Structure 1
Amino acid sequence: MKKLSYAVLKEQGYDGYLLESAPERVLQFGEGNFLRAFVDYFIDELNEKAGFNSKVVLCQPIAPDLDDRFNEQEGLYTLFLRGFQDGKKINKKRVISCVSRCLNPYKDFEAVLACADNPDLRFIACNTTEAGITYDSSCQFNDVPAGSYPGKLTQFMYRRFQKFGQEAGKGFIILSCELIEDNGKELEKCVLKYATQWNLGEDFINWIKTENIFCSTLVDRIVTGYPRTEAAAICEELGYEDNLIDTGEIFGFWVIEGPQSIKDEFPVDKANLPILITDNHKPYKQRKVRILNGAHTSFVLGAYLAGQDIVRDCMNDDVICGFMNKTIYDEIIPTLDLPKTELENFAAAVTERFKNPFIDHALLSISLNSTSKWKARVMPSLKKYVERKGTLPACITASFAFYIAFYNGYAMSEDVLTAKRAANEYTVKDDKAVLEFYLAHKDDSAADLVHAVCTNTSFWGEDLTQISGFEAVVCNYLTQIRENGAYEVMKALA
């Protein structure tokens, strides 16, 4: 079977959109599944629908030899976006043709730096994982390349400054997609630190600040990556070998914080894409964390105790799905400040995303580190609801009892806590201190356990018994869970 290429697609009579030649206007640090199913997908759509006419140069942020795989396929790969949308099962295929080549800075850093000499280059996209945006003072300007991603970016930007520093409009629009708070601003801080540490001059520092836009962004799409178990069958159906197949969910939403002038160069409105350019991305991040992530954290532990194992199956159970929807619509949405219609539309999309027939999202996988997740994703909704309504949100309060019941294990080994669901054992995974706390309280009464958890300020940053009535209601729910099971508690609330 022939490897995917433009010639093979022509032989097959492929009638989908392809862009074989265009200026390289985007440099992308990161060649992983997420960026290819998200950023490169959107750029491919911009090329087709808005005449963006741009190729993307991929640069590997770490050392593994993946560049050959991309270059052998001329940058082409097949993307499948799959899910449940508008009540229908969707499996949409697209050959992505916006990638021109892939460079490995550990093999040829000069080839990467040479991209800075290209006058057409305007955008830099990146996703170097949460650990990628870090300042490492051991990095030196003469390293080939610098060890950290911000170090490499500083070296690259200095090359650009040397070539075009006297021309306006030759800086970069930098789209940071790492999953950290204020990703763009944090990246800019690191670059400025290196510019200072390496004594690259005030003119360069001023150029960084005035000619470049570091955009913080929010990215939202579940990307499932290379379909290992399906790949052979998919290639047989496609009629070509593709070692870069990528898969993700249908839903996608990208919020870019920056001036509206970005639209003049990045014409997302013309392409009618789910990309929002705004002066503040944080309300949208809050919406995602509170509704999408908060829904996960507030129902999955109870759903697991109720006998379920997969998110999709929970959505087909009227009681569990009803509990989740009541949590979102009645208790979370009233705590948020975006327009109600926007929030409800997002919530409806969340339910469809959870029904995705192509993703077996295990509840136990989601349960990892639920203590910090509950604090970050659910507790803000609890406190805001109490502030606005003057009463406790029933489902959110019950979710705290589900959390305690799930963590109520009886034995610990190899940094996991063993607990039981009916006759079956399961493992709880969290920070060691969290697990040791629950082990120490394994024989507590419901009242003693709830009190111990609520007053553990190292978990929550505050004493939750200070929230009026919270301790007593959580204790009541935990007692009901122990006596009647989590499902009956959900049924009474749904």
Structure 2
Amino acid sequence: MIDVKPINLSNKTIGDINAPGVITPSINYLNLPVKVLQFGTGVLLRGLTDHIIDKANKAGIFNGRIAVVKSTSTGGTDAFAEQNNLYTLQMKGIENKQLTEETVINTAIARVLSAADEWNLVLKEAENPELKVVISNTTEVGLQLVEENIDQQPPSSFPAKLLAVLNHRYKSLNGSAESGLVIIPTELLPDNAIILKSIIKKLIAFNGLSADFEKWLDESNYFCNSLVDRIVTGKPSLEEQKQFEQKNGYHDALLIVSEPYCLWAIEGDDKVKEILSFEQADPGAVVIPDIEVHRELKLRLLNGTHTLSCALALCMGFDLVNTATNNAQFSAFLEDLMKEIYEAMPYKPEAKLAAEFSERVLDRFRNPFIQHQWVAIAQQYTTKIITRVLPVLKEHYRLFNNAPENIARGLAAYMFLMSKVVKDNKEYYLTYKNERHLLKDDKIGILVEKWAVNPASVMASEILGAKEIWGEDLSQLPGLAHSVQNKLNDIVKNAQPHKQKEN
């Protein structure tokens, strides 16, 4: 058998790629104008927001490409340049309980500019009258105030870079109302656009910019809170890359992999919705006046379920999320848990939306292509319970005034898991299947101390009653300590043979 060297992905070779299942452009993408300025080259943006824009372009809806600003000093823009900014996204996983796979060559990015070396070209993008949107994902650390001069080449912080771009656009296009932009930060912070705009306002004052510019910023631009959710695992392994090339006949140095599920919820009015026409291309993209419902669904039914099922999965001997979810007993627990959480969500969505979301959560948990380890999810376990679970627990008591069965089971498993933690020097380690895993948890010292001086038969009251952990005495909630203790007793009893065998 003769090995055929795969072709390299580029504008010149894209027409030669005809592998079954690979979606290639059906449009002349080179003729589309730049309508989006994007700060960040990370896989989340390429696997989610840029995918939706590309999908819209292929459907003839948005008809605009992206100029990307690379702000970090690591890596370079060479890989993008060599492939004419083309890259492949593979979406693999479970949808509607069925295994699915889709491979798309993304043509949305027109150019990638280095902020450090090509800041003048970044500012040139601001002069483009067809520019409509700014997207960012500079990590949560990127949304910080750094008091600095925006005339630097370039400014160091993302907000200062953005202000420099906006100020240059204002001057270049004479502050016209139609030159305003829709600005969508996707950093994983609540009210991310509100935070960004407040920083911009402080930088306007620090830089002594005009009142007319600030008026244009307020009246002609839209700062839109947003929420993104998609697991993008990024660059595949060398073996996976080789298999991809053998199957499809081309090499892509920028190949990335994601799950099928995606969410890009953007807070905006009808005018914003009109500008962001790419929303029409994918059901995962939504522009609505209030995105809190999507935040609550993610925080409670996805993150809260992860948190409350993590310790139980480890107690049952499961290493990975997908293997646990494919177990009938564990899957039944997840379904019952999500129903219980839904009934007590502080911000309650309609039942149909919650049911659909819950089904997608189970699909995502079952994804065989994502090796998500439970021990990784156990990091900062106590903080996750405080932020994700306690509001639901309190609302359950307000509505029903009794102990929630499945939440109590999750809390009992969490307590048992903490009994397997030991301190070594200044670090704490979870022992699981005879292996030690470094565990980070701000309250771990208190939990370890309680297990050291108390028998398992009183641990529910001891831990739930610890104000230094929860900020309040949770043992006062009627029946909670009793329910958690009974479930903890069962877990301890069932774990005894395994414990004796280890000794």
Corresponding residue of 1:491: none
Tell me how far apart the structure 1 counterparts of residues 339 and 443 of structure 2 sit (CA, whole Å).
31
Corresponding residue of 1:381: 392
Q: Aligned pairs, how many?
A: 485
Q: Relative to 1, partners in 2 of residues 1:384 and 1:349: Cα closer, same or farther, differing over 3 Å?
A: same
Tell me how far apart the structure 1 counterparts of residues 425 and 356 of structure 2 sit (CA, whole Å).
43
Tell me how far apart the structure 1 counterparts of residues 131 and 484 of structure 2 sit (CA, whole Å).
57
Corresponding residue of 2:308: 298
Tell me how far apart the structure 2 counterparts of residues 363 and 453 of structure 1 sit (CA, whole Å).
22
Measured after TM superposition, the shift of residue 50 of structure 1 is 4.0
Q: How does 1:37-186 map to 2 (within 5 A)?
A: 37-137=47-147, 139-186=148-195
Contact 2:222 2:272 in 1 (8 A): no
Tell me how far apart the structure 2 counterparts of residues 269 and 303 of structure 1 sit (CA, whole Å).
37
Measured after TM superposition, the shift of residue 49 of structure 1 is 1.7
Contact 2:402 2:480 in 1 (8 A): no
Corresponding residue of 1:282: 292
Q: Relative to 1, partners in 2 of residues 1:330 and 1:99: Cα closer, same or farther, differing over 3 Å?
A: same
Corresponding residue of 1:344: 355
Counterpart code for 1:180: L
Tell me how far apart the structure 2 counterparts of residues 476 and 112 of structure 1 sit (CA, whole Å).
62
Corresponding residue of 1:16: 24
Measured after TM superposition, the shift of residue 2 of structure 1 is 3.5
Which stretch has the larger CA shift, 334-343 or 72-81? 334-343
Deviations 1:145-166 (A, max 9, x none): 1111111111111101111243
Question: Is the aligned partner of 1:7 residue 2:7?
Answer: no
Structure 1 unaligned blocks of 5 or more? 488-494
Which stretch has the larger CA shift, 214-223 or 470-479? 470-479
Deviations 1:187-231 (A, max 9, x none): 111111111111112111111111110110111111111112311
Contact 1:418 1:425 in 2 (8 A): no
SS at match of 1:441: helix
Corresponding residue of 2:269: 259
1:360 to 357, 366, 371: 371
Measured after TM superposition, the shift of residue 411 of structure 1 is 2.5
Measured after TM superposition, the shift of residue 311 of structure 1 is 0.7
Measured after TM superposition, the shift of residue 264 of structure 1 is 1.7
Corresponding residue of 2:500: none
Structure 2 unaligned blocks of 5 or more? 1-5, 498-503
TM-score by length of 1: 0.93
Tell me how far apart the structure 1 counterparts of residues 466 and 151 of structure 2 sit (CA, whole Å).
49
Measured after TM superposition, the shift of residue 53 of structure 1 is 1.0
Contact 1:49 1:270 in 2 (8 A): no
Question: Is the aligned partner of 1:191 residue 2:196?
Answer: no
Q: Relative to 1, partners in 2 of residues 1:192 and 1:458: Cα closer, same or farther, differing over 3 Å?
A: farther
SS at match of 1:145: coil
Corresponding residue of 1:228: 237
Measured after TM superposition, the shift of residue 179 of structure 1 is 0.3
Measured after TM superposition, the shift of residue 293 of structure 1 is 0.7
Corresponding residue of 1:401: 412
Measured after TM superposition, the shift of residue 459 of structure 1 is 2.9
Tell me how far apart the structure 1 counterparts of residues 344 and 488 of structure 2 sit (CA, whole Å).
26
SS at match of 1:261: helix
Corresponding residue of 1:214: 223
Deviations 1:6-56 (A, max 9, x none): 211113357722523210110000111000010000001111224311010
Measured after TM superposition, the shift of residue 63 of structure 1 is 1.5
Which stretch has the larger CA shift, 121-130 or 165-174? 165-174
Tell me how far apart the structure 1 counterparts of residues 175 and 406 of structure 2 sit (CA, whole Å).
60
Tell me how far apart the structure 1 counterparts of residues 123 and 460 of structure 2 sit (CA, whole Å).
58
Q: Relative to 1, partners in 2 of residues 1:330 and 1:141: Cα closer, same or farther, differing over 3 Å?
A: closer
Contact 1:382 1:397 in 2 (8 A): no
Corresponding residue of 2:3: none
Contact 2:265 2:291 in 1 (8 A): yes
SS at match of 1:287: helix
Contact 2:186 2:192 in 1 (8 A): yes
Tell me how far apart the structure 2 counterparts of residues 301 and 7 of structure 1 sit (CA, whole Å).
52
Tell me how far apart the structure 2 counterparts of residues 87 and 129 of structure 1 sit (CA, whole Å).
32
Tell me how far apart the structure 2 counterparts of residues 20 and 13 of structure 1 sit (CA, whole Å).
20
